[in-house]
Amino acid sequence: MPFAPLKNDTFLRACLRQATDHTPVWLMRQAGRYLPEYRATRAKAGSFMGLATNVDYATEVTLQPLERYPLDAAILFSDILTVPDAMGLGLSFALGEGPKFEKTVRTEADVAALAAPDLARLRYVFDAVTSIRKALDGRVPLIGFSGSPWTLACYMVEGGGSDDYRHVKALMYARPDLMHRILAINADAVAAYLNAQIEAGAQAVMVFDSWGGVLADGNFQAFSLAYTHRVLSQLKREHEGARIPRIVFTKGGGLWLDDMKPLDCDVLGLDWTVSLARARAAVGDGPNAKALQGNIDPNVLFAPPAAIEAEVVKVLDSFGRPHSGAGTGPTHIFNLGHGISQHTPPEHVTALVNAVHSHSRRLRQAA
Amino acid sequence: MPFAPLKNDTFLRACLRQATDHTPVWLMRQAGRYLPEYRATRAKAGSFMGLATNVDYATEVTLQPLERYPLDAAILFSDILTVPDAMGLGLSFALGEGPKFEKTVRTEADVAALAAPDLARLRYVFDAVTSIRKALDGRVPLIGFSGSPWTLACYMVEGGGSDDYRHVKALMYARPDLMHRILAINADAVAAYLNAQIEAGAQAVMVFDSWGGVLADGNFQAFSLAYTHRVLSQLKREHEGARIPRIVFTKGGGLWLDDMKPLDCDVLGLDWTVSLARARAAVGDGPNAKALQGNIDPNVLFAPPAAIEAEVVKVLDSFGRPHSGAGTGPTHIFNLGHGISQHTPPEHVTALVNAVHSHSRRLRQAA
């Protein structure tokens, strides 16, 4: 049963470096705690995993930000840690705290026991993708996603968040063989997981390498980037005749743009430390060119609307005038450089989204 | 009353880009909780501030790592937040927690009430510097230090550590005028503070821009780097005939090395995300050249000694053979890319320091 045809393909066109009449915008974690309607649904669901594993709730919260703001894409409501949860590590979220795993992966025996999960255990995710695609009814495209192999490994070894990555790095430095084994398993699992999301209806996929930026130069290439390559090499390029764009976002990865250029992906996500002008010069055009996604500091949203608009203009101007006309060329997808804060005033997001649309149209009209 | 002549000037020579027979090494937070003798002194002192404000205790703990390891420099035992404490904000450290200020600086009235502190309130720091210089008896040089104006502002506005810098960035985006006023006061206070440390006996000074890396491109230059310039422009260049080298370390600042090149300092500190080879090519030679300090991941110290030695060799080889012979040229000071972890096994530090000395001698002998 086919889904409804797409009414707004701006995001997908920009991913593929094709001209658009405005710069598309979506926000990492756009369905989230800053929205009162999200908090109401979460209260009904009882827990974060109760929300994420219930198809109706996941569909409901995915669409909530689209009711408020003219965003150009939706992103599946889920968590980056569903894959290690399905490996049997036991994911939970205490209220107001980060993710926790019941089991950690630290010893040779732990690693030997690790295997890619049965995708049937992730059925709730694929069902949510299909349900959301139906509910979207072609309004905007739906993005699927996963954590990167390295980022998943950080949580699997640490057992949760960390401010020093002591355990995962100790394992990496002391037993690189074990770390490579974990990463290989993760990469194959992530690829299968993303392919199943594509088959269920995801129209683009994003790999969140949220912790790639904590690695030393040299180790980023060997322990994060190499396994992102391994994921991408196994991904479906098309589904039912439509090209499926791939986005890779390494938080704190601005130093390694040249290393990322050979990635077989369409878009690179950037955080606010990176100059969009420099990134465009480095990877925005020529062989292996990428579209760029990002990169305003989410804390801008705590300033008054006039200041938000001024910062949006700075970011758009920093990228400069995007490609226009036929063929392909440098394009920009506006986003935050990190997930939106739960403390964000919802009405400030309106100012941001409207400023992106209006200024990016002006930018295209400028001589 | 003059201090004893210096027996090991390797660190100071490397700061000034002069040849040395080995690569000098010291470690950020080398006097700290990973050492049982430090924990014993701290227990006697009752609290962190009790330790830092007592001249005898501060002298004792500064020298402790030198008794264990053949380090090439000592660094004053103190905290980066002494200056805002002296401004009347009320610094304290609960056991096992980070710093907390009693008062924050967030409103126009808070900023209007802010002023550079009376240096008499920081007398305990200058007395400690003089006491440590005497106790060192010329073994190695003593480094004085301060937090950067931006890093101090982060703590002053947040009231302690932060994982999102929400308050300080909200103030910066909403009221840049107030933020600039705080930073100007901080810069002048930091300059006076470092000059007083130099007069008390500090033989080099370091500015810790620990949170510069959280800023957006453009804002780093305007809100952090500009005020580091303002500090440096007011510093004494010499004291009693000796040149006083200046070190600037921006954690997470690797993207902005070109912007830092014009800084009037001798050394740039780097974290592990930066390739020393690329940094040397960018700023290690030519006009405005800097010595480079860093940059091993402190988590390497959790691996076994053989792995530590291999990682030390990688870092030294990444910089390559330093300048030799007369005049000046590219030099390297070995350090961690961040403070040493309290969980570090002390005997692993022996492996690191010895590996730096032995491999850096081999590197100089290679053809």
H helices within B53-147, ranges in order? 55-68, 82-84, 108-112, 123-136
Q: How far is A305 from chain B (nearest CA, A)?
A: 9
Active-site residue (options: A42, A106, A139, A280): A42
Distance of CA A125 to the CA centre of its chain: 15
pLDDT tier at A234, thresholds 50, 70, 90:
very high
Q: Name the 3-class secondary structure at A294.
A: strand
- Sort strands B267-269 and B246-250 into parallel, antiparallel or unpaired: parallel
Instruction: State residue A1's pLDDT score.
Output: 63
User: What is the 3-state composition of chain B as percent helix, strand, coil, each rounded to the nearest 5?
Assistant: 50, 10, 40
Does the beta-carbon distance from A307 to B174 stay under 8 Å? yes
Question: Residue A332: CB partners within 8 Å, gap ≥ 6?
Answer: A14, A23, A276, A291, A292, A293, A316, A319, A322
Does the beta-carbon distance from B165 to A307 stay under 8 Å? no
Identify all chain B residues contacting A348, using CB atoms and an 8 Å cutoff: none
Q: Name the 3-class secondary structure at B147.
A: strand
Instruction: State residue B131's pLDDT score.
Output: 98
pLDDT > 70? residue A340: yes
pLDDT tier at A95, thresholds 50, 70, 90:
confident
Q: Report whether A169 contacts B297 (CB < 8 A).
A: yes
Active site residue B155: yes
Identify all chain A residues contacting B314, using CB atoms and an 8 Å cutoff: 218
Identify all chain B residues contacting A223, using CB atoms and an 8 Å cutoff: none
Nearest by Cα to B338 from B305, B293, B303, B302: B293
DSSP B266: S
What is the number of other CB atoms lying within 10 angstroms of the CB of residue B90? 12
Nearest by Cα to A280 from A17, A102, A20, A34: A17
Q: What is the C-alpha separation between A261 and A253, in angstroms, rounded?
A: 12
By C-alpha distance, the chain B residue nearest A339 is B164
Instruction: State residue B95's pLDDT score.
Output: 73
Segment B226-236, tens digit of pLDDT: 999 999 999 99
Which element (helix H / strand E) includes B276?
helix B276-283
pLDDT > 70? residue A139: yes
Q: How far is A342 from chain B (nearest CA, A)?
A: 11
Please report, for residues A335, B26, B81, the alpha-carbon distance to residue B34 in angstroms, rounded to integers and kept in the order given. 42, 15, 21
Q: Report whether A334 contacts A363 (CB < 8 A).
A: no
Identify all chain B residues contacting A292, using CB atoms and an 8 Å cutoff: none
Q: Is B165 left (phi over 0), alpha (psi -120 to 50) or beta?
A: left
Does the beta-carbon distance from B275 to A218 stay under 8 Å? yes
pLDDT tier at A292, thresholds 50, 70, 90:
very high
Instruction: State residue B367's pLDDT score.
Output: 57
Question: Residue A110: CB partners within 8 Å, gap ≥ 6?
Answer: A103, A104
Which of A174, A215, A273 is opposite residue B213, by nearest beta carbon? A273
Active site residue B230: no
Active-site residue (options: B155, B266, B271, B280): B155
Please report, for residues B112, B152, B262, B329, the alpha-carbon distance to residue B267 in angstroms, rounded to integers and kept in the order given. 35, 21, 12, 12
Q: How far is B342 from chain A (nearest CA, A)?
A: 11
Segment B190-211, tens digit of pLDDT: 999 999 999 999 999 999 999 9
By C-alpha distance, the chain A residue nearest B294 is A216
Q: Helix A166-174 crosses helix A176-200 at what angle (to 10 degrees)? A: 120
- Sort strands A242-243 and A142-147 into parallel, antiparallel or unpaired: unpaired
Q: What would the two tokens of residue A320 be?
A: 């400069």
Q: Report whether A141 contacts A12 (CB < 8 A).
A: yes
Question: Residue A186: CB partners within 8 Å, gap ≥ 6?
Answer: A83, A84, A149, A150, A152, A153, A156, A227
Q: What is the C-alpha separation between B261 and B16, in angstroms, rounded?
A: 15
Question: Any CB–CB contact under 8 A between A94 and chain B?
Answer: no
User: What is the 3-state composition of chain A as percent helix, strand, coil, each rounded to the nearest 5?
Assistant: 50, 15, 40
How many CB pairs lie under 8 A apart between chains A and B?
Answer: 99
Q: Calculate mean pLDDT across residues A222-249.
A: 98
Active site residue A68: no
Active site residue A165: no
Question: Any CB–CB contact under 8 A between B310 and chain A?
Answer: no
Rg (CA), chain B: 20
Which of A165, A173, A343 is opposite residue B307, by nearest beta carbon? A173
Q: How far is B212 from chain A (nearest CA, A)?
A: 10
Active site residue A246: no
Q: Name the 3-class secondary structure at B99.
A: strand
Identify all chain B residues contacting A254, using CB atoms and an 8 Å cutoff: 255
Cα dihedral value A116, A120, A125, A126, nearest 10: 110
DSSP A279: H
The answer for A 212-271 residues in CB contact with B (under 8 A) is 213, 215-220, 252, 254-255
Instruction: State residue A367's pLDDT score.
Output: 57
Segment A67-91, tens digit of pLDDT: 999 999 999 999 999 999 999 999 9
The residue ranges of chain B whose pLDDT is under 50 are: none
Question: Any CB–CB contact under 8 A between A302 and chain B?
Answer: yes
Nearest by Cα to A20 from A34, A29, A32, A8: A8
Does the beta-carbon distance from B299 to A174 stay under 8 Å? no
- Burial per residue of A12-23, b for 16 or more beta-carbon CB atoms within 10 angstroms, e otherwise: bbbbbbbbbebb
Domains identified in chain A and CATH numbers:
10-365 (3.20.20.210)
The answer for B 158-187 residues in CB contact with A (under 8 A) is 163-166, 169-170, 173-174
Question: Residue B237: CB partners within 8 Å, gap ≥ 6?
Answer: B243, B244
Q: What is the C-alpha separation between B319 and A212, in angstroms, rounded?
A: 23
Instruction: State residue B1's pLDDT score.
Output: 63
Q: Name the 3-class secondary structure at A204.
A: strand
By C-alpha distance, the chain B residue nearest A300 is B173
Active-site residue (options: A72, A79, A209, A271): A79
Which element (helix H / strand E) includes A185?
helix A176-200
Q: What is the C-alpha separation between B276 and B321, in angstroms, rounded?
A: 12
Which of B173, B217, B220 is opposite residue A311, by nearest beta carbon? B173
